[in-house]
Amino acid sequence: MKQAVLTILAPPLAACRFGCAGCCAAPIGVFWLTGIVSIVYGFIGGPANLMGPSWNTVGLGLALWAIATVWAALTIRSADEDTCAGKSNKLCDKLTPPAADESDPFEEVRKAR
């Protein structure tokens, strides 16, 4: 359930957390953020500066969000337990919170002085 909700609401984070193809998180994030911006821009008038919402722009934003969601779902579905084991991605490591047993990098810098 958590995986499905995260895939719909935050596709790049879901691709990093549940899939092993972390290289897909950046382009998924671009589609997702562009969709959000397009939805907001559409509600404030869109490129035609309409008095009401520009439904074409809102529809474009929803389509981009749907593309990001489907892409993240396919990335997660294709994640194989055997091929993903032991692989680490630098981008995904920055997005996911550190484990409890990891040391604080700032503490290591303070110790080095």
- Residue 57 pLDDT class (50, 70, 90 cuts): very high
How do residues 86-99 score in pLDDT, each as one tens digit? 555 555 656 556 66
Measure the CA angle with vertex 84, ends 82 and 85; round to 5°: 70
pTM: 0.70
